[in-house]
Amino acid sequence: MPIAVDIDVMLARRKMSVGELADRVGITPANLAVLKNGRAKAVRFATLAALCEALECQPGDLLRWEAEDPAEG
Protein backbone atom coordinates (compact mmCIF):
# COMPACT_ATOMS: atom_id res chain seq x y z
CA MET A 1 0.00 0.00 0.00
CA PRO A 2 1.44 3.39 -0.89
CA ILE A 3 0.43 5.01 2.42
CA ALA A 4 2.79 4.10 5.26
CA VAL A 5 1.74 4.54 8.88
CA ASP A 6 4.35 5.66 11.42
CA ILE A 7 2.33 5.55 14.64
CA ASP A 8 4.85 3.12 16.13
CA VAL A 9 7.66 5.63 15.46
CA MET A 10 5.79 8.37 17.31
CA LEU A 11 4.92 5.98 20.15
CA ALA A 12 8.61 5.21 20.59
CA ARG A 13 9.57 8.90 20.45
CA ARG A 14 6.96 9.73 23.09
CA LYS A 15 7.79 6.61 25.17
CA MET A 16 4.08 5.73 25.17
CA SER A 17 2.41 2.32 25.01
CA VAL A 18 -0.30 1.31 22.57
CA GLY A 19 -2.70 0.91 25.51
CA GLU A 20 -1.98 4.38 26.84
CA LEU A 21 -2.45 5.96 23.40
CA ALA A 22 -5.68 4.04 22.85
CA ASP A 23 -7.01 5.33 26.19
CA ARG A 24 -6.06 8.92 25.37
CA VAL A 25 -7.62 8.73 21.90
CA GLY A 26 -10.74 6.83 22.99
CA ILE A 27 -10.38 3.77 20.74
CA THR A 28 -9.69 0.14 21.54
CA PRO A 29 -6.12 -1.16 21.47
CA ALA A 30 -7.25 -3.61 18.76
CA ASN A 31 -8.49 -0.78 16.52
CA LEU A 32 -5.30 1.17 17.17
CA ALA A 33 -3.29 -1.92 16.16
CA VAL A 34 -5.22 -2.07 12.86
CA LEU A 35 -4.26 1.56 12.19
CA LYS A 36 -0.69 1.09 13.40
CA ASN A 37 -0.08 -1.95 11.22
CA GLY A 38 -1.42 -0.26 8.09
CA ARG A 39 -4.41 -2.61 7.74
CA ALA A 40 -7.05 0.12 8.04
CA LYS A 41 -8.96 1.04 4.88
CA ALA A 42 -9.83 4.49 6.25
CA VAL A 43 -9.28 6.74 9.23
CA ARG A 44 -11.69 9.37 10.49
CA PHE A 45 -10.35 12.89 10.68
CA ALA A 46 -11.56 13.03 14.29
CA THR A 47 -9.42 9.98 15.10
CA LEU A 48 -6.44 11.41 13.25
CA ALA A 49 -6.85 14.70 15.14
CA ALA A 50 -7.05 12.85 18.47
CA LEU A 51 -3.91 10.86 17.62
CA CYS A 52 -2.07 14.08 16.74
CA GLU A 53 -3.22 15.74 19.95
CA ALA A 54 -2.20 12.79 22.13
CA LEU A 55 1.17 12.40 20.40
CA GLU A 56 1.74 16.16 20.00
CA CYS A 57 2.50 15.80 16.31
CA GLN A 58 1.22 16.64 12.84
CA PRO A 59 -0.71 14.25 10.52
CA GLY A 60 2.37 14.06 8.31
CA ASP A 61 4.31 12.60 11.24
CA LEU A 62 1.88 9.64 11.27
CA LEU A 63 1.12 9.12 7.57
CA ARG A 64 3.39 9.27 4.53
CA TRP A 65 3.14 8.29 0.89
CA GLU A 66 5.54 5.73 -0.59
CA ALA A 67 5.72 4.87 -4.26
CA GLU A 68 4.68 1.30 -4.96
CA ASP A 69 7.41 -1.07 -6.08
CA PRO A 70 6.46 -2.31 -9.59
CA ALA A 71 8.15 -5.65 -8.77
CA GLU A 72 5.60 -6.24 -5.98
CA GLY A 73 2.67 -5.48 -8.25
Asked if 64 contacts 6 with a C-beta cutoff of 8 angstroms, the reply is yes
- Where does the pLDDT of residue 1 fall: very low under 50, low under 70, confident under 90, or very high at 90 and above? low
Give yes or no for a contact between 23 and 31, defined as CB atoms under 8 angstroms apart: no
Query: What percent of the chain shows pLDDT beyond 90?
Result: 86
Task: Give me the amino acid identity at 48.
Answer: L
pLDDT at 28: 97
In angstroms, the CA 58 to CA 15 distance is 17
- Average pLDDT for 14-38: 96
